[in-house]
Amino acid sequence: MAARAFVLGHPVGHSRSPMLHGYWLRTMGVRGSYELADVRPEGLADFFAKMKSRGFVGGNVTVPHKVAVMPFMSRLDEEARAIGAVNTIWFEDGALVGGNTDTIGFLANLDELAPGWEGPAVVIGAGGAARAVIHGLRQRRALVHIVNRTRAHADALAERFGGVTAHAWDELPELMRGAGILVNTSSLGMQGKPRLEIDLAPLPRRAVVHDIVYVPLETDLIRDAKARGHRTVDGLGMLLHQAVAGFAHWFGVVPQVTPELRALLEADISA
Ligand code: ATR
């Protein structure tokens, strides 16, 4: 039976992962499939009970199940434990492993598009995406300052990760003055959400500006940063790079993030 992989969510129709994995299956000539699995929270136990007999070798997990799937795993990888959420599932020696590839995706993309980047880092936002980003920044020993609408969420992350401090919004200009990289992990600037209103003037010209939002591809933050001469990194590359490890686990071959793949997704996002 050809290997089947899934993206598990609810709703899940908006996911771009089928386009991404479908491209690799097609262009690499791999026999297998990548399918939408729209499962309600109360259906998760049944889904995992039947997953193996249905020929599934693993898959991705998206909203709202990234935390809820954790009890169904035999074990969690180091990233999933640090981040507190699972985005990729595979079998190892018959046991179901829950991993998180968002940190690898974040770092691989940043290293590719802004080689030589360095801290200190200013991170805007303290949600699930912030955790993966902060974990990556800390793996590279960058000091991290978090600014978030709800101070308590930033405080909780500062307690969870060493080398991380939480700050009030009005400290942002001062924090930017000493920053090597600014990362927006909040949903501000995303299509349908309010804009991210920040004045980049205090940020040193050498600082990298990374917005993990990818709809639209060029957010106001990225446009302002480009106009000021900063190196910029948009959010699409993180999505592409986080998918590599999952595909390799399920189908046994390591796919490449190519300009053609990026163009395919860009065209879909802009459509
Ligand atoms: P994700 O998993 O994608 O990170 P999330 O956990 O809902 O999503 O986190 C969204 C982030 O965007 C949070 O930091 C949130 O701030 P709060 O912690 O105060 O909720 C931030 N965010 C969302 N809408 C916002 C808004 N209108 N103004 C400021 N921050 C906002």
Please tell me the predicted confidence (pLDDT) of residue 271: 84
Q: How many CA atoms lie within 13 A of 271 on its CB side?
A: 7
Most ligand 1 atoms within 8 A of CB, residue of 187, 188, 195, 211 to mutate: 187
Local structure of 99: helix, strand or coil: strand
CA distance 58 to 243: 13
The CA 61 to ligand 1 mean position distance, Å, reads 20
Nearest CA to ligand 1 atom 5: 127
Q: What angle do CA 121, 159, 103 make, to 5 degrees?
A: 50
Supply the residue whose CA is at minimum distance from atom 26 of ligand 1.
188
Chain segment 27-50, per-residue pLDDT in tens? 999 999 999 999 999 999 999 999
Pairing of strands 144-147, 95-99: unpaired
DSSP line for 147-190: E-SSHHHHHHHHHHSTTEEEE-GGGHHHHHHT-SEEEE-SSTTS
Query: In terms of C-beta density within 10 A (0-12 exposed, 13-18 middle, 19 or more buried), how is residue 216 classed?
Result: middle
User: What element of type H or E holds 270?
Assistant: helix 259-270
- State the sign of the Cα–Cα–Cα–Cα dihedral 4, 7, 10, 16: negative
In Å, what is the CA distance from 17 to each residue of 7, 39, 112, 237?
7, 16, 21, 13
- All domains of the chain in start order, with CATH: 3-100+239-270 (3.40.50.10860), 103-234 (3.40.50.720)
Query: Residues with catalytic annotation?
Result: 66
Q: Is residue 228 packed enough to be buried (19+ CB in 10 Å), middle (13-18) or exposed (0-12)?
A: middle
Q: Nearest C-alpha to atom 3 of ligand 1 is from which residue?
A: 129
Question: CA-CA distance, 70 to 49, in Å (whole number)?
Answer: 14
Query: Which atom of ligand 1 approaches the CA of 187 most closely?
Result: 12
Residue 80 CA to ligand 1 center (angstroms) comes to: 20
Q: How confident is the model at residue 223 (pLDDT cuts 50, 70, 90)?
A: very high
Kindly give the distance from the C-alpha atom of residue 267 to the centroid of ligand 1, in angstroms, as a whole number: 27
Atom of ligand 1 nearest to the CA of 186: 12
Across the range 51-63, mean pLDDT stands at 97
Q: What are phi and psi of 211, to 5 degrees?
A: -110, 120
Q: Is the pLDDT of residue 136 over 90?
A: yes
Prediction pTM value = 0.94
Which ligand 1 atom is the nearest neighbour of the CA of 130? Answer: 4
Binding-site residues, ligand 1, Cβ < 6 A: 125-130, 148-150, 153, 185-188, 194
Q: And the tokens for 164?
A: 């991380």
* Residue to substitute in 149, 151, 184 for testing ligand 1 pocket (most ligand atoms within 8 angstroms of CB): 149
Nearest CA to ligand 1 atom 7: 127
Q: What is the mean pLDDT of the chain?
A: 97
**Protein residue closest via CA to atom 18 of ligand 1:** 150
pLDDT digit string, tens, across residues 176-207: 999 999 999 999 999 999 999 999 999 999 99
* Residue 263 CA, ligand 1 centroid: distance in Å: 28
Which whole number is the average pLDDT over 152-174? 96
pLDDT at 95 over 90: yes
Return the pLDDT at 1.
75
Q: Following CA atoms 127, 128, 131, 132 in sequence, which dihedral angle do they give, to the nearest 10 degrees?
A: -140
Residue 81, pLDDT above cutoff 80:
yes
Instruction: Report which DSSP code applies to 92.
Output: E
CA 149 to centroid of ligand 1, rounded, Å: 8
State how far the Cα of 218 lies from the Cα of 239, in Å rounded to an integer. Answer: 15
